[in-house]
Amino acid sequence: MVFFHSPDMRFFVLPVGKDTSSGNTQVHGVHAFDIRKSGNGNSKLLWTFNTRGVVVNAAISSDCTAAAVEVPLQLKNGDLTGKHMLIIIR
């Protein structure tokens, strides 16, 4: 698992692309967390941004602006889903 911290170490983003063959793209995207919030991992979740393709890289700033790189995914049936895209999330 790879995640990326903001410069002040308060926020981190987790790029997700779990199911790369079946076509279930509901899990693909970026999840942002606030380390300073109390509780477990779920209570620290700030937001989720879903994508159709796989997120291969991400970054987050100290003001919680995130950038992510999505790439297309070829499914078992040959279809392509997602795009080559730079995504900015504010």
Each residue's pLDDT tens digit, 60-74: 999 999 999 999 988
Q: Which of 33, 77, 79 lies closest to 53, judged by CA?
A: 79
Residue 83's beta-bridge partner residues? none
pTM: 0.85
86 DSSP 8-state letter? E
Evaluate if residue 88 carries a pLDDT over 80.
yes
| Domain spans, the chain | 4-89
Dump pLDDT digits (tens) for 23-68. Answer: 677 788 999 999 999 998 889 999 999 999 989 999 999 999 999 9
* Distance, CA of 20 to CA of 76 (rounded, Å): 9
* Distance, CA of 32 to CA of 60 (rounded, Å): 8
